[in-house]
Amino acid sequence: MSRRVVIVGAGPAGLAAAQAALAHGAHVTLLDEGERAGGQFWRHHDELTDRRMQHQWARFERLHAALERAGDHATVHRQASVWRIETEGGIRVHALVGPADAAARTGLTVEADALVIATGAHDRALPVPGWTLPGVVTAGAAQALAKRDGVTPGGRTVVAGAGPFLLPVAASIAIAGGEVAEVVEAVGLRRLVRGWGRSPWQLAGAAGKAGELAEYVGGLVRRRTPYRLGSAVTRIHGERAVEAVTVQRVDAHWRPIAGTERTVACDSVALGHGFTPRLEAAIQAGCRISSARFVEVDERQATSVAGIFAAGEVTGIAGADAALAEGEVAGFAAAGGTLDDARIAAVLRARRRLHAFADRLATHEVRRGWTAWLDDDTIICRCESVTRARIAEYADASSRGLRLATRAGLGACQGRTCGRTVEQLVAAPVDFDARPVLSSVRIGELAALAPNGGASTPSVGPEPSGSV
Amino acid sequence: MSVRIRVDGAEVVGRDGQTIAGVLIGAGRRSWRTAAGAERGVFCGIGVCQDCVLTVNGVEGVRACQRTARDGDTVERESR
C-alpha cells in the first residue's frame, strides 16, 4: 500500500508538496479551507480576477494539473476547516467540510502516515488610532478583495506599513480601478539600501523576484504615486468611516518625529507590517517552535514530531518561491524520499538561494518605537475592544491573568490579530497561538460528531471535486 | 452575471461569484457590524480576524469575506 501523505493548506507550499509526494508514489490528501486551491498567493476567481495581478500562474496550472492527473492517487477537500490534529497512536486530521461558517458542515477524519503542515501566514498590522474605522483593511485584505472579488477597499487608498508586499498591493488596487494616494514605508532610505544592497551576488538566484519588484516600482512611477520612505500612518481620521490619515516621518526605531505631520485625504487605508505565521496546527501537533515563533524544521523540512513536516511561511517568512521549494522538499521527504536522491538536488539548491533573498526581508522587521504613535484609548484587541491603557495596566500579570482581566485575545479571532502586538506592549511572550480548536467551529457541529471524532471513518466528506 | 442579495431589507446587486464582502463593498457599503457602539466592516479579508461577521439566512457569525454570495441570500447586521 502506498504511503498516505496528508497536506494541510493548498497554497504554493502545499501544492508543491502534493506534486512531489505524488511523483514519489504516495497517495495524497489535500485539505484547504478555501473554495479553490492557490492559497493567498494564487487567490483567484475565474471571472473576477484580472490576470495581471497573478504571478507564476503557469506554475499554478502545472501543479493543479498534476493533482487532476493523479486520479485515485489524490483526494482534494476544498472548504475544509481543519479543527484538530491528533498524533497519539498515528496521525489523524479532523476537519469540517462545507460553506464557510455554515451551521451544519460534514465531519471528516483522515489518517496519515505523514503530514505536511503548510498553513502559511497572515498579515501583521500594527494598531494606530482610528484603525477600527470601516475602510481600514490589512494589505492582504486589499490584495484578496482585488484578486478574489474584483473590488478595492475604497476609491482612494493609502497603502502603509513595511516591506516589499506593499508594492504588489498598490499595483492590485490600481489594476482593480482604485487610486493609490501614497505608499508609505516605515524603513528609511539608508536602511533600505543597506539591507537590500549588501552582498548583491546572493540575490542573483532570485532575479525573477527582483524583476517583479522593479515592475511594481515602475508602475508607481507611471501612475505618479508617491512612495514615502521612513514614514508611517500615525493616525486615521473619520467619524463613521475613513476620511483622512496623518502621515508622519519616523526615526530608525519607527518613533514618530514631531513636527513632520501631513494630512492625506483618503477613504481607505491598507496596513501591512509584515506577516505572522499560522502556527496553531503545528503547536497542537506538538512540533517544536523556535524562539522567533516559527516551526523548527531540518534539511528535510521535518519537524520535531516523527512523520510531520512543515513548509512555507510557517517555517519562516520567505515568499512564494521559497515556499514552493520547501514544499517540494517536504512532499518528497513525506513520501519517503531521501536527500541523497539526485532528483531533489536542484530543489535543495534553489531553496538555499531563496533563503538568502528572504534574509533581506529582515530589513523591514517591526522596530520597537512604533508604540509611541498609540494613544491610551487606542483599541489593541479589536474583538473585545481592549485599549492600550487596559493592557498596560496588566503588563506584569501572567498571560492567563492578562487575558482574564482584560479579555485581550479571548474574542472571536482568538488573539490572531492582536497577539503579537500584546506581546510587544507587555514585553513578554503571551502564547496566544496555542489554541485547542484550530478554526471556528460551532458548538452544535462539535456535539454532532462522534465522541472519538469519527476516527475510524475516513472520507465521509462530500465527493472531492475535480475543480480545485 | 449578477447576484442579488437582501441586506437589512434592501436589495443589493453584485457580480456572480463574489463573496458577500465583495458584493457589499462593490455596492459602496463598507460597514455592516456594530462593535462597542462603533461601526466595523471588513479588516483582514482572509478569514482570520472575524471583524466582518454578519447573519446570513438566519445563521449568525458568518464571515462576509469567506462566504460566497448566493442569489436570494438574506443578510443582517450584527451588533455586540
Domain boundaries, chain A: 4-122+276-339, 135-273, 375-426
A154·B30 Cβ contact <8 A: yes
Q: Is B2 on the interface with A (CB under 8 A)?
A: no
Q: What contacts A383, CB < 8 A, 6 or more positions away?
A: A410, A411, A412, A413, A417, A418, B49, B50, B51
Residue B5: predicted pLDDT: 98
Residue A161: predicted pLDDT: 98
Residue A450: predicted pLDDT: 63
Q: Which residues in chain A are contacts of B68 at CB distance < 8 A?
A: 35, 99
Candidate from A102, A133, A151 with C-beta closest to B59: A102
ipTM, two decimals, is 0.98
Would the pTM count as exceeding 0.90? Answer: yes
A140·B49 Cβ contact <8 A: no
First-last CA distance in chain B: 35
Candidate from A134, A149, A413 with C-beta closest to B49: A413
pLDDT, tens only, A411-450: 999 999 999 999 999 999 888 888 989 998 998 898 888 6
Residues B19-45 have a mean pLDDT of 96
What average pLDDT does the structure give for chain A?
92
Taking CA–CA distances from B31, the nearest residue in chain A reads: A134
Residue A466: predicted pLDDT: 39
CATH class given for the domain over A4-122+276-339 = alpha beta
Residue A204: predicted pLDDT: 59
A141·B59 Cβ contact <8 A: no
A236 contacts A258 by C-beta, under 8 angstroms:
no
Between A202-206, A347-351, A355-359, B15-19, the lowest mean confidence (pLDDT) is in: A202-206
Is the pLDDT reported for residue A453 higher than 60? no
**What is the distance in angstroms between the Cα of A77 and the nearest Cα belonging to chain B?**
16
pLDDT, tens only, A164-196: 999 999 999 999 999 999 999 999 999 998 888
Confidence of residue A321 (pLDDT cuts 50, 70, 90): very high
B49·A416 Cβ contact <8 A: yes
Taking CA–CA distances from B32, the nearest residue in chain A reads: A134
Residue A199: predicted pLDDT: 66
Residues A201-225 have a mean pLDDT of 78
Residues A45-55 have a mean pLDDT of 92
What is the CATH T-level fold of the domain A135-273, as seen in this structure?
Answer: FAD/NAD(P)-binding domain (3.50.50)
Q: Which residues in chain B are contacts of A417 at CB distance < 8 A?
A: 43-44, 48-49
Q: What is the percent of chain A with per-residue pLDDT over 90, rounded to a whole number?
A: 83
Is the pLDDT reported for residue A152 higher than 50? yes
B35·A142 Cβ contact <8 A: no
Cell of A130: 482610528
Residue A312: predicted pLDDT: 98
Q: Give the highest mean pLDDT range of A203-212, A255-264, A356-365.
A: A255-264
Residues A328-332 have a mean pLDDT of 98
* Cα angle value A416/A419/A425 (rounded, 5°): 155
Task: Give the amino acid at A230.
Answer: G
**What is the distance in angstroms between the Cα of B39 and the nearest Cα belonging to chain A?**
6
Is the pLDDT reported for residue A50 higher than 90? yes
Residue A384: predicted pLDDT: 96
The C-alpha atoms of residue A83 and residue A51 are separated, in whole angstroms, by: 33
A368 contacts A400 by C-beta, under 8 angstroms:
no
Q: What is the percent of chain A with per-residue pLDDT over 70, rounded to a whole number?
A: 94
pLDDT, tens only, A87-113: 999 999 999 999 999 998 999 999 999
Is the pLDDT reported for residue A16 higher than 80? yes
**What is the distance in angstroms between the Cα of B76 and the nearest Cα belonging to chain A?**
15
A residues 120-179 closer than 8 Å to B (CB): 122-123, 125, 132-138, 140-145, 148-154
Is the pLDDT reported for residue A464 higher than 80? no
A residues 435-454 closer than 8 Å to B (CB): 440
Residue A467: predicted pLDDT: 40
Q: Which residues in chain B are contacts of A154 at CB distance < 8 A?
A: 30
CATH class given for the domain over B2-79 = alpha beta
pLDDT, tens only, A267-314: 999 999 999 999 999 999 999 999 999 999 999 999 999 999 999 999
Q: Is B28 on the interface with A (CB under 8 A)?
A: no
**What is the distance in angstroms between the Cα of B72 and the nearest Cα belonging to chain A?**
16
Residue A356: predicted pLDDT: 84
Residue A215: predicted pLDDT: 85
Residue A456: predicted pLDDT: 44
**What is the distance in angstroms between the Cα of A413 and the nearest Cα belonging to chain B?**
5
**What is the distance in angstroms between the Cα of A133 and the nearest Cα belonging to chain B?**
6
Residue A451: predicted pLDDT: 65
The C-alpha atoms of residue A329 and residue A20 are separated, in whole angstroms, by: 8
Residue A461: predicted pLDDT: 40
3-state secondary structure of B5: strand
Q: What contacts A37, CB < 8 A, 6 or more positions away?
A: A10, A15, A30, A64, A67, A76, A78, A468
Cell of A102: 455554515
**What is the distance in angstroms between the Cα of A38 and the nearest Cα belonging to chain B?**
13
A residues 225-284 closer than 8 Å to B (CB): 240-241, 268
Candidate from B39, B50, B61 with C-beta closest to A134: B39
